[in-house]
Structure 1
Protein backbone atom coordinates (compact mmCIF):
# COMPACT_ATOMS: atom_id res chain seq x y z
CA UNK A 1 0.00 0.00 0.00
CA UNK A 2 1.08 3.56 -0.63
CA UNK A 3 2.15 5.45 2.51
CA UNK A 4 0.22 8.50 3.60
CA UNK A 5 2.17 11.75 3.11
CA UNK A 6 1.82 14.62 5.57
CA UNK A 7 3.52 18.02 5.56
CA UNK A 8 4.06 19.30 9.10
CA UNK A 9 2.05 22.45 9.74
CA UNK A 10 3.11 25.30 12.00
CA UNK A 11 0.13 24.82 14.32
CA UNK A 12 1.26 21.23 14.95
CA UNK A 13 4.47 22.39 16.61
CA UNK A 14 5.16 23.51 20.15
CA UNK A 15 7.21 26.40 21.52
CA UNK A 16 10.43 24.55 20.70
CA UNK A 17 9.49 24.25 17.03
CA UNK A 18 8.98 20.50 17.12
CA UNK A 19 5.81 18.54 16.49
CA UNK A 20 3.70 18.25 19.64
CA UNK A 21 3.42 14.60 20.68
CA UNK A 22 -0.38 14.48 20.35
CA UNK A 23 -0.21 15.05 16.60
CA UNK A 24 1.41 11.70 15.91
CA UNK A 25 -1.77 9.97 17.10
CA UNK A 26 -3.79 12.15 14.71
CA UNK A 27 -1.43 11.18 11.90
CA UNK A 28 -2.02 7.51 12.71
CA UNK A 29 -5.71 8.13 12.14
CA UNK A 30 -5.07 9.97 8.88
CA UNK A 31 -2.98 7.04 7.63
CA UNK A 32 -5.62 4.53 8.76
CA UNK A 33 -8.32 6.46 6.88
CA UNK A 34 -6.10 6.48 3.78
CA UNK A 35 -5.39 2.74 4.08
CA UNK A 36 -9.11 1.98 4.22
CA UNK A 37 -9.67 4.21 1.17
CA UNK A 38 -6.94 2.34 -0.72
CA UNK A 39 -8.66 -0.94 0.18
CA UNK A 40 -11.92 0.41 -1.25
CA UNK A 41 -13.71 0.61 2.10
CA UNK A 42 -13.35 4.14 3.43
CA UNK A 43 -14.90 5.14 6.74
CA UNK A 44 -17.76 6.83 4.88
CA UNK A 45 -18.67 3.54 3.21
CA UNK A 46 -18.24 1.54 6.43
CA UNK A 47 -20.46 3.95 8.36
CA UNK A 48 -23.06 4.05 5.57
CA UNK A 49 -23.30 0.26 5.89
CA UNK A 50 -24.04 0.68 9.61
CA UNK A 51 -20.69 -0.21 11.11
CA UNK A 52 -18.21 1.63 13.27
CA UNK A 53 -14.65 0.90 14.34
CA UNK A 54 -13.83 2.60 17.63
CA UNK A 55 -10.30 2.79 18.98
CA UNK A 56 -9.74 0.47 21.94
CA UNK A 57 -6.06 1.26 22.51
CA UNK A 58 -3.33 3.37 21.00
CA UNK A 59 0.40 3.32 21.70
CA UNK A 60 3.16 5.53 20.36
CA UNK A 61 6.94 5.36 20.73
CA UNK A 62 8.69 8.59 19.88
CA UNK A 63 12.12 8.18 18.28
CA UNK A 64 13.24 11.47 16.68
CA UNK A 65 11.66 14.88 16.24
CA UNK A 66 9.74 16.18 13.24
CA UNK A 67 9.70 19.93 12.69
CA UNK A 68 7.63 22.53 10.88
CA UNK A 69 7.99 22.17 7.11
CA UNK A 70 9.12 18.54 7.21
CA UNK A 71 7.23 16.02 5.14
CA UNK A 72 6.67 12.65 6.72
CA UNK A 73 5.48 9.36 5.28
CA UNK A 74 3.16 7.33 7.46
CA UNK A 75 3.07 3.60 6.83
CA UNK A 76 0.02 1.79 8.18
CA UNK A 77 -0.43 -1.95 8.06
CA UNK A 78 -2.89 -4.43 9.50
CA UNK A 79 -1.05 -6.71 11.93
CA UNK A 80 -3.94 -8.61 13.51
CA UNK A 81 -7.47 -9.31 12.38
CA UNK A 82 -10.04 -11.88 13.54
CA UNK A 83 -13.34 -10.54 12.20
CA UNK A 84 -14.24 -8.69 15.41
CA UNK A 85 -11.00 -6.89 16.27
CA UNK A 86 -8.16 -5.44 14.27
CA UNK A 87 -4.73 -4.05 15.12
CA UNK A 88 -2.62 -1.77 12.97
CA UNK A 89 1.05 -0.84 13.17
CA UNK A 90 2.32 2.58 12.09
CA UNK A 91 5.72 3.97 11.20
CA UNK A 92 6.27 7.65 10.62
CA UNK A 93 9.42 8.39 8.65
CA UNK A 94 11.01 11.55 7.33
CA UNK A 95 10.44 11.73 3.58
CA UNK A 96 13.94 13.04 2.83
CA UNK A 97 16.13 11.03 5.21
CA UNK A 98 13.90 8.01 6.00
CA UNK A 99 14.66 8.63 9.69
CA UNK A 100 12.13 6.95 11.95
CA UNK A 101 10.18 9.66 13.79
CA UNK A 102 7.87 7.36 15.70
CA UNK A 103 6.07 4.06 15.56
CA UNK A 104 2.94 2.83 17.19
CA UNK A 105 -0.11 0.68 17.20
CA UNK A 106 -3.86 1.06 17.42
CA UNK A 107 -6.45 -1.58 18.25
CA UNK A 108 -10.06 -1.45 17.13
CA UNK A 109 -13.25 -3.46 17.27
CA UNK A 110 -16.21 -3.46 14.91
CA UNK A 111 -19.65 -2.40 16.06
CA UNK A 112 -23.10 -2.33 14.50
CA UNK A 113 -25.72 0.42 14.56
CA UNK A 114 -26.75 -0.73 18.04
CA UNK A 115 -23.20 -0.05 19.33
CA UNK A 116 -22.66 -3.72 20.06
CA UNK A 117 -19.64 -5.69 18.80
CA UNK A 118 -20.17 -7.54 15.52
CA UNK A 119 -18.30 -10.14 13.54
CA UNK A 120 -17.59 -8.92 10.02
CA UNK A 121 -17.27 -12.57 8.99
CA UNK A 122 -21.01 -12.92 9.54
CA UNK A 123 -22.22 -9.33 9.10
CA UNK A 124 -20.16 -8.17 6.10
CA UNK A 125 -18.24 -11.07 4.52
CA UNK A 126 -16.87 -8.96 1.63
CA UNK A 127 -15.11 -6.55 4.00
CA UNK A 128 -13.94 -9.47 6.14
CA UNK A 129 -12.27 -11.00 3.07
CA UNK A 130 -10.56 -7.70 2.21
CA UNK A 131 -9.10 -7.30 5.72
CA UNK A 132 -8.09 -10.97 5.92
CA UNK A 133 -6.41 -10.79 2.50
CA UNK A 134 -4.57 -7.60 3.45
CA UNK A 135 -3.28 -9.24 6.64
CA UNK A 136 -2.19 -12.33 4.71
CA UNK A 137 -0.39 -10.21 2.09
CA UNK A 138 1.30 -8.16 4.82
CA UNK A 139 2.43 -11.32 6.63
CA UNK A 140 3.78 -12.76 3.37
CA UNK A 141 5.68 -9.54 2.65
CA UNK A 142 7.12 -9.49 6.17
CA UNK A 143 8.28 -13.09 5.72
CA UNK A 144 9.88 -12.36 2.34
CA UNK A 145 7.31 -14.33 0.36
CA UNK A 146 6.19 -11.44 -1.85
Structure 2
Protein backbone atom coordinates (compact mmCIF):
# COMPACT_ATOMS: atom_id res chain seq x y z
CA UNK A 1 0.00 0.00 0.00
CA UNK A 2 1.49 3.32 -1.00
CA UNK A 3 2.16 5.95 1.62
CA UNK A 4 -0.24 8.45 0.05
CA UNK A 5 -3.09 5.91 0.19
CA UNK A 6 -2.95 5.74 3.97
CA UNK A 7 -5.79 7.35 5.85
CA UNK A 8 -5.04 10.16 8.27
CA UNK A 9 -5.03 8.74 11.78
CA UNK A 10 -6.48 10.52 14.79
CA UNK A 11 -4.31 10.77 17.91
CA UNK A 12 -5.63 9.05 21.00
CA UNK A 13 -6.75 11.60 23.62
CA UNK A 14 -6.94 10.77 27.31
CA UNK A 15 -8.42 13.06 29.97
CA UNK A 16 -6.70 12.18 33.22
CA UNK A 17 -8.88 11.05 36.09
CA UNK A 18 -8.61 11.71 39.82
CA UNK A 19 -8.28 8.00 40.64
CA UNK A 20 -5.12 7.88 38.49
CA UNK A 21 -3.24 10.22 40.86
CA UNK A 22 -0.95 9.30 43.71
CA UNK A 23 -0.23 10.91 47.08
CA UNK A 24 1.90 13.56 45.34
CA UNK A 25 -1.16 14.58 43.25
CA UNK A 26 0.43 13.50 39.97
CA UNK A 27 -0.53 10.61 37.73
CA UNK A 28 0.80 7.34 39.20
CA UNK A 29 3.45 5.78 36.98
CA UNK A 30 1.53 2.51 36.49
CA UNK A 31 -1.26 4.27 34.60
CA UNK A 32 0.96 5.10 31.63
CA UNK A 33 1.17 1.40 30.76
CA UNK A 34 -2.65 1.27 30.68
CA UNK A 35 -2.69 4.39 28.50
CA UNK A 36 -0.25 2.75 26.09
CA UNK A 37 -2.64 -0.19 25.78
CA UNK A 38 -5.64 2.07 25.22
CA UNK A 39 -3.76 3.96 22.51
CA UNK A 40 -2.46 0.73 20.95
CA UNK A 41 -5.95 -0.78 20.66
CA UNK A 42 -7.25 2.47 19.13
CA UNK A 43 -4.27 2.71 16.72
CA UNK A 44 -4.63 -0.90 15.54
CA UNK A 45 -8.35 -0.40 15.03
CA UNK A 46 -7.67 2.69 12.91
CA UNK A 47 -5.14 0.90 10.69
CA UNK A 48 -7.42 -2.11 10.12
CA UNK A 49 -5.78 -4.58 12.52
CA UNK A 50 -8.61 -4.69 15.07
CA UNK A 51 -7.74 -6.79 18.15
CA UNK A 52 -11.19 -8.37 18.45
CA UNK A 53 -11.17 -9.41 14.79
CA UNK A 54 -7.67 -10.86 15.13
CA UNK A 55 -8.79 -12.87 18.16
CA UNK A 56 -11.80 -14.16 16.18
CA UNK A 57 -9.25 -15.40 13.63
CA UNK A 58 -7.35 -17.21 16.40
CA UNK A 59 -4.53 -14.65 16.64
CA UNK A 60 -3.34 -13.45 20.03
CA UNK A 61 -0.72 -10.80 20.63
CA UNK A 62 0.80 -10.99 24.11
CA UNK A 63 3.07 -8.30 25.51
CA UNK A 64 6.70 -9.41 25.61
CA UNK A 65 8.04 -6.24 27.23
CA UNK A 66 6.96 -2.72 28.10
CA UNK A 67 8.85 0.35 29.30
CA UNK A 68 8.24 4.02 30.04
CA UNK A 69 10.47 7.04 30.53
CA UNK A 70 8.90 9.89 32.47
CA UNK A 71 9.95 13.34 31.26
CA UNK A 72 7.49 15.70 32.99
CA UNK A 73 4.55 15.31 35.36
CA UNK A 74 0.96 14.83 34.28
CA UNK A 75 -1.69 15.94 36.75
CA UNK A 76 -5.38 15.31 37.34
CA UNK A 77 -7.48 17.15 34.76
CA UNK A 78 -4.75 17.31 32.11
CA UNK A 79 -5.57 16.03 28.64
CA UNK A 80 -2.82 14.17 26.84
CA UNK A 81 -2.28 12.79 23.38
CA UNK A 82 -0.87 9.27 23.34
CA UNK A 83 0.77 8.75 19.97
CA UNK A 84 1.78 5.19 19.11
CA UNK A 85 3.91 4.31 16.12
CA UNK A 86 5.17 1.03 14.72
CA UNK A 87 8.89 1.03 15.34
CA UNK A 88 9.60 -2.50 14.16
CA UNK A 89 7.54 -5.22 12.53
CA UNK A 90 8.62 -8.46 10.87
CA UNK A 91 5.36 -10.40 10.64
CA UNK A 92 6.01 -12.33 13.87
CA UNK A 93 6.96 -9.54 16.29
CA UNK A 94 5.75 -5.97 16.64
CA UNK A 95 7.39 -3.11 18.53
CA UNK A 96 5.44 0.06 19.17
CA UNK A 97 6.80 3.29 20.56
CA UNK A 98 4.66 5.87 22.34
CA UNK A 99 4.84 9.60 22.94
CA UNK A 100 2.62 11.21 25.54
CA UNK A 101 2.17 14.92 24.85
CA UNK A 102 0.28 17.58 26.77
CA UNK A 103 -2.78 18.26 24.59
CA UNK A 104 -2.65 22.02 25.27
CA UNK A 105 1.08 22.84 25.19
CA UNK A 106 2.42 19.94 23.12
CA UNK A 107 5.08 19.33 25.79
CA UNK A 108 6.52 15.81 25.79
CA UNK A 109 5.56 14.18 29.09
CA UNK A 110 6.44 10.51 28.64
CA UNK A 111 7.89 8.11 26.08
CA UNK A 112 7.55 4.37 26.01
CA UNK A 113 7.77 1.17 24.09
CA UNK A 114 6.02 -2.20 24.02
CA UNK A 115 6.98 -5.37 22.20
CA UNK A 116 4.47 -8.03 21.15
CA UNK A 117 4.41 -11.28 19.21
CA UNK A 118 1.68 -13.05 17.30
CA UNK A 119 0.54 -16.52 18.36
CA UNK A 120 -1.95 -19.02 16.99
CA UNK A 121 -4.65 -20.75 19.06
CA UNK A 122 -2.13 -23.35 20.22
CA UNK A 123 0.16 -20.63 21.55
CA UNK A 124 2.76 -21.06 18.81
CA UNK A 125 4.35 -18.13 16.97
CA UNK A 126 2.83 -17.36 13.61
CA UNK A 127 3.80 -15.17 10.70
CA UNK A 128 1.04 -12.76 9.72
CA UNK A 129 2.74 -12.36 6.36
CA UNK A 130 2.09 -16.04 5.58
CA UNK A 131 -1.16 -16.70 7.43
CA UNK A 132 -2.99 -13.34 7.26
CA UNK A 133 -1.52 -11.19 4.48
CA UNK A 134 -4.34 -8.63 4.73
CA UNK A 135 -3.45 -7.88 8.38
CA UNK A 136 0.25 -7.95 7.50
CA UNK A 137 -0.35 -5.21 4.90
CA UNK A 138 -2.01 -3.03 7.55
CA UNK A 139 1.09 -3.17 9.73
CA UNK A 140 3.44 -2.59 6.80
CA UNK A 141 1.42 0.39 5.54
CA UNK A 142 1.71 2.24 8.86
CA UNK A 143 5.27 1.26 9.79
CA UNK A 144 6.97 4.37 11.21
CA UNK A 145 3.80 6.49 10.80
CA UNK A 146 4.19 9.88 12.49
CA UNK A 147 1.10 11.61 13.84
CA UNK A 148 0.38 15.16 12.75
CA UNK A 149 -1.28 17.22 15.45
Identify which of 126, 131, 138 aligns with 2:134: 126
Matches within 5 A, 1:40-51: 40-51=48-59
SS of match in other structure, 2:142:
helix
Identify which of 1, 10, 13 aligns with 2:21: 13
Matches within 5 A, 1:86-105: 86-105=94-113
Matches within 5 A, 1:1-146: 1-135=9-143, 138=145
Cα separation, 1, equivalents of 2:141 and 2:71: 31
Cα separation, 1, equivalents of 2:17 and 2:58: 34
Structure 1 unaligned segments of length 5 or more: list them: none
Structure 2 unaligned segments of length 5 or more: list them: 1-8
Task: Write the deviation string for residues 120-142 of structure 1: whole angstroms up to 9, x where unpaired.
Answer: 0111011011111111x63xx69
Cα separation, 1, equivalents of 2:67 and 2:49: 24
Task: Quote the offset at 1:110 in angstroms.
Answer: 0.2
> RCO (CA 8 Å, sep 6+): is it higher in 1 or 2?
2
SS of match in other structure, 1:57:
strand
SS of match in other structure, 2:44:
helix
The alignment yields a C-alpha RMSD, in angstroms, of 1.3
What is the TM-score when the length of structure 2 is the normalising length? 0.90
What is the TM-score when the length of structure 1 is the normalising length? 0.92
Asked if 1 retains the 8 angstrom alpha-carbon contact of 2:49 and 2:139, the reply is no
Task: Quote the offset at 1:41 in angstroms.
Answer: 2.2
SS of match in other structure, 2:116:
strand
SS of match in other structure, 1:67:
coil
